[in-house]
Amino acid sequence: MLSFAENECTFCRACADACPEPVFLEANERAFAHVAAIEESCFAKTGVHCQSCGDACPETAIRFRPRLGGAPVPEIEAGRCTGCGACAAICPAHAIIMNTPETA
């Protein structure tokens, strides 16, 4: 089971190396089909200033759109997202989920 509740995937491939079954993709292929998505429970969407996810993203895939009279809100550039989960692990609102393209 893959969980980003406490930490992200660093793509070290230790799981793939340890697994006896041929279930992992090759190292030069994209590891995950999912990309991150932000739910309405995001603090910034409720007016509280928070940019923790953007600070944590190693791909600079999260930008913050300024809003008049409100906190800047995060937006994820799906094309840059590797699905590593660093943003989900650090989000204090537990507002980041991973969507597969079918559910995005």
Report d(CA 7, CA 20) in Å as an integer: 24
Name the minimum Å distance from CB 20 to ligand SF4. Answer: 28
Contact 34, 102 (CB under 8 A): no
Contact region with ligand SF4 (CB under 6 A), list: 11-19, 21-29, 48-56: 48-56
Contact pattern from residue 7 through residue 36 relative to ligand SF4, giving x for each residue in contact according to CB under 6 A and a dash for the rest? -----------------------------x
Nearer to ligand SF4, 21 or 102 (CB): 102
Closest CA to 92 of 42, 56, 46: 42
The tokens for 34 are 């999912």
Residue 5 burial (CB < 10 Å; 0-12/13-18/19+)? exposed
Contact region with ligand SF4 (CB under 6 A), list: 11-19, 22-30, 53-61: 53-61
Using the rule CB under 6 A, which residue among 16, 31, 37, 59 binds ligand SF4?
59
Using the rule CB under 6 A, which residue among 6, 65, 85, 102 binds ligand SF4?
85
Q: Any idea which residue has 């999260």 for tokens? A: 62
| Beta bridge pairs of residue 80 | none
Using the rule CB under 6 A, which residue among 31, 37, 52, 99 binds ligand SF4?
52
